[in-house]
Amino acid sequence: MLEIKNLSCRVKGEEENILEDFSLKINDGEVHVLMGPNGTGKSTLAKAIMGHYKYEVVNGDILFDNESILDLDVSERARKGIFLCMQDPTVIEGVSNSEFLRTALGEVTGEKVNLYTFIKDMEKSMEEVSLDNSMLHRSLNLGFSGGEKKKNEILQLKLLKPKFIILDELDSGLDVDSLRVVCKNINDYIKDNPTTSLLIITHYPRILEYIKVDFVHILKDKKILKTGNETLAFEIEKEGFTGVNIMTGNDRNE
């Protein structure tokens, strides 16, 4: 579904690359985890995949369904089915949650959204992610707690129905109960859409207690240095990135 080939990326206007010769391949239905020390480029990768305007690809390519998406803007990538659950979701004052989602759904499907069906689906999804219906009419993320913002991201996911999902530090700012709720909804979504692929960016393996993963990658020195299974993530938690030999082990993405 997604293939990143020898990607070098940096912030526009900067000289030093944040990612250098980075490669990763994610097939349909796979769940991958990307871990690494602070400042190694994990969130930069997410933004590069989405086409964030502040980042430029210096070299390499990003293929989605075997087609390069480098020339596509953010909205075009979203229409293809790529979704980013943001680490710190944007606040948009004056635009209600329902207005935002209805507009986004119409943009993704290219069809006029039936108001009755939309409200019915949205209320059902809000109940499943434990959000009060009053948040339908509140400005997007304005005054939301950290947990409410993340649940709202999952609400968007459920309604927009993407096929490739990036979770950028989903567990940041979530208590145990909220993490359990959002992970249950992600698992239910994957079960209903088995070809959906996930890229989970995280510092800690806590989320792996709720979501089954296929591969764990360690990002350091601007590229993936080691790939393993979930055991690698728990080893990192116990020993730290400096305590684990990340120069050994199988990396199928080289």
pLDDT, one tens digit per residue, over 186-239 is: 999 999 999 999 999 988 788 888 999 999 998 888 888 889 888 888 887 777
Total domain count, the chain: 1
Position 249 in a domain: no
What secondary structure does DSSP assign to 107-129, as a single string? HHH-SPPPHHHHHHHHHHHHHHT
Measured in whole angstroms, how far is the alpha carbon of residue 74 from the centre of its chain?
Answer: 14
SS3 state of residue 241:
coil
Q: Does residue 95 fall inside a structural domain?
A: yes
Tell me the three state secondary structure of residue 250. coil
- What strands, in cross-sheet order, belong to the sheet with 19-26? 19-26, 2-11, 55-64, 67-68
Q: How many C-beta neighbours within 10 Å does residue 200 have?
A: 24
Q: At residue 76, what is the residue type? A: E
pLDDT tens digit sequence for 37-70: 777 788 889 999 999 999 999 999 999 999 999 9
Residue 248 lies in a domain: no
Computed on alpha carbons and rounded to an integer, the radius of gyration of the chain in Å comes to: 18
Q: Where are the beta strands (DSSP E) in 144-251?
A: 164-168, 197-201, 215-220, 223-228
CB 57 within 8 A of CB 69: no
pLDDT reported for residue 245: 62
Whether 244 is in a domain gets the answer no
Cβ-contact 23, 34 below 8 angstroms: no
Residue 253 has pLDDT above 50, yes or no: no
pLDDT at 119: 87
What pLDDT, on a 0 to 100 scale, did the predictor assign at position 252?
A: 46
Structure tokens at 154: 């999952």
Structure confidence at residue 49 (pLDDT) = 95
Domain membership flag for residue 226: yes
Range of the structural domain that residue 89 is part of: 2-239
* Residues contacting residue 137 through CB under 8 Å, at least 6 positions apart: 96, 97, 98
pLDDT single digits (tens) 91-140: 999 999 889 999 998 988 888 888 888 888 888 999 999 988 888 889 88
State pLDDT tens for residues 8-34.
999 998 989 999 999 999 999 999 999
pTM here is 0.88
Count of residues for the chain? 254
Model pLDDT, residue 244: 60
pLDDT at 147: 85
pLDDT of residue 254: 40
Please indicate, yes or no, if residue 68 is contained in any of the structural domains.
Answer: yes
For the domain that residue 59 is a member of, what is the CATH number? Answer: 3.40.50.300
pLDDT of residue 108: 86
